[in-house]
Amino acid sequence: MTSSSAPPVIVWFRDDLRLSDHPALHAAAETDAPLVLLYVLDEESTSLRPPRGRAIGSASRWWLAQSLRSLQASLAARGQTLVLRSGAAARVISDLAQDIEAASVHWIESDVPSQSAVERDVTAALKEIGVQARGFPGDLLVKPASLRNKEGRGLRVFTPFWKRVLSLGDPPQPLPVPKKLKPGPAVASDDLASWNLEPKHPDWAGGLRDTWTPGESAAQTRLHDFLETGIKGYATLRDRPDRDGTSRLSPHLRFGEISPRQVWHAANFAAAQKPDIASDVGKFLSELGWREFSRHLLFDLPDLAEKNLQSSFDAFPWRRDAKALRAWQRGRTGYPIVDAGMRELWHTGVMHNRVRMVVASFLVKHLLIDWRHGEKWFWDTLVDADPGSNPASWQWVAGSGADAAPYFRVFNPVLQGEKFDPDGAYVSRWVPELARLSAKLIHQPWEATPMELAAAGVTLGENYPEPMVDHKAARARALAAYAKTREP
């Protein structure tokens, strides 16, 4: 029981690990009540009943640990603490609310179906003990339920979807960090280390530590720097994996260290200040739109990561080939741009977006391996693995999803490498055994003469693999399989 005259308010943090533009925290602070700030590691509710969620992957667990530490530090600087508890959210939150005689529990609503189901459980548990539950929008620019077509369904083609979002005008202005966060009663908290979110034996996260600084402050700095110095030319440079041409905000958005409307307003302000970057800002915001679109798809299709959106693909003749899948996962396919992407992913927890499309196309179309295997690998290895964008993007490449790429689009990994990594800098970085080959040969080392290979220190089949499949033959096989699937 609290000794304070006013009953405390609990703020339940989730995928919104920030203090600025946090509507639930802002509203709680405005009550002037003592606050208990809570994060629940809930690995139980995901499997209780449909719509089932899934535990976050290994790389995301690493990010979560760093992000929680960052949030703890930000709160400590303001005289507050972050309470950590694990277990089913409904049980944990209702027990805590009862223990401290809380007046209410605030949180930012999620439109991810499995998380919405958990919210309903929490609301029901709080109702039983007479505690108010208050949810606030703040995870998306537009709530999916408010963006429907004439049949009452969400839009399934990106361009008209994004036009509709743009036609709604600016989202609300971001909220500042509350000026005062009144400390609540002392509450027992788990030790973050006891959650074992970070790898130990072996510790494979060295590349993640070298690449990233999770947390709200780093997210704000990254957005500011990108809009100041990196946005010009984004519309074209974003396709170049050999250039630093993207914002790299995706994991910060994934964990809510920065909000979509903060990105929206900052980008539009930058465009107003510098009209010459307006087209680049528009393209940048459309990428934010793809996150939005994917979450809206997930809202209507909770099993997006498991089930083909287009049922015609249920009969697709996928191949079972564990050896080929493993070679793809480890960047040993014999196609340099594919291998570079897969190795970048393993080391840094991300992959350049253009290369993501190429490696996904290779798995699904060159190897005819079910897109779900690729989606699961990305879910485990990406620090920005998003429950909407990850499966939606894999289904887009496979041709089984919404607004899908045409089934006959089979990316040629050699041409993709030559076009978007023309000097071979990206491949040289991630596939260093090929670094001494010329730009002309680095994307197709099998075309080099024995003398050229020897001079570059390359022995195909030994220190770098021969191509797993012939591109022309694999393309023909894929088109035949797709054509058969599409037969009435």
Domain spans of the chain, in order of start: 9-138, 140-173+216-300, 311-485
Instruction: Give catalytic residues, as residue numbers.
Output: 287, 290, 318, 353, 371, 394
Handedness of CA 291, 292, 297, 303 (dihedral sign): positive
Contacts of 83 (CB under 8 A, 6+ apart): 36, 37, 38, 39, 96, 187, 188, 189
Q: What is the pLDDT of residue 365?
A: 96
Please tell me the pTM assigned to this model. Answer: 0.95
Q: What is the pLDDT of residue 1?
A: 42
End-to-end CA distance of the chain: 67
Residues 401, 305 contacting (CB under 8 angstroms): no
Residue list, annotated binding site: 234, 246-250, 284, 384-386
Q: Looking at residue 40, what DSSP letter applies? A: E
Q: Give 9-138's CATH code, choosing from 3.30.360.10, 2.70.98.40, 3.40.50.970, 3.40.50.620.
A: 3.40.50.620
Question: Look-up: residue for tokens 């900052």?
Answer: 266
Residue list, annotated binding site for FAD: 234, 246-250, 284, 384-386
Q: What is the pLDDT of residue 404?
A: 66
Tens-level pLDDT at each residue, the chain (488 residues):
444 479 999 999 999 999 999 999 999 999 999 999 999 999 888 655 566 788 999 999 999 999 999 999 999 999 999 999 999 999 999 999 999 999 999 999 999 999 999 999 999 999 999 999 999 999 999 999 999 998 989 999 999 999 999 999 999 999 999 999 999 999 999 999 999 999 998 999 999 999 999 999 999 999 999 999 999 999 999 999 999 999 999 999 999 999 999 999 999 999 999 999 999 999 999 999 999 999 999 999 999 999 999 998 999 999 999 999 999 999 999 999 999 999 999 999 999 999 999 999 999 999 999 999 999 999 999 999 999 999 999 999 999 998 766 777 899 999 999 999 999 999 999 999 999 999 999 999 999 999 999 999 999 999 999 999 999 999 999 999 988 877 65
Q: What is the pLDDT of residue 2?
A: 42
Residues 197, 61 contacting (CB under 8 angstroms): yes
CA 423 to each of CA 36, 183, 418, 427, 468: distance values in angstroms, whole numbers, following the listed order: 54, 56, 8, 9, 24
Report the greatest alpha carbon distance in the chain.
84
Residues 97, 126 contacting (CB under 8 angstroms): yes
Q: What is the pLDDT of residue 488?
A: 55
Instruction: Say which CATH superfamily domain 311-485 falls into.
Output: DNA Cyclobutane Dipyrimidine Photolyase, subunit A, domain 3 (1.10.579.10)
Cis, peptide link before residue 51, omega less than 30° from 0: yes
Residues 15, 1 contacting (CB under 8 angstroms): no
Amino acid at 262: Q
Residues 256, 18 contacting (CB under 8 angstroms): yes
Bridge partner residues of 40 (DSSP): 85
Angle (CA) 29-33-37 rounded to 5° is: 65
CATH class given for the domain over 140-173+216-300: mainly alpha
Q: Looking at residue 13, what DSSP letter applies? A: E
Domains 9-138 and 140-173+216-300 share a fold: no
Nearest to 294 by CA among 219, 373, 384: 384
Q: What is the pLDDT of residue 133?
A: 98
Question: Look-up: residue for tokens 């037969």?
Answer: 487
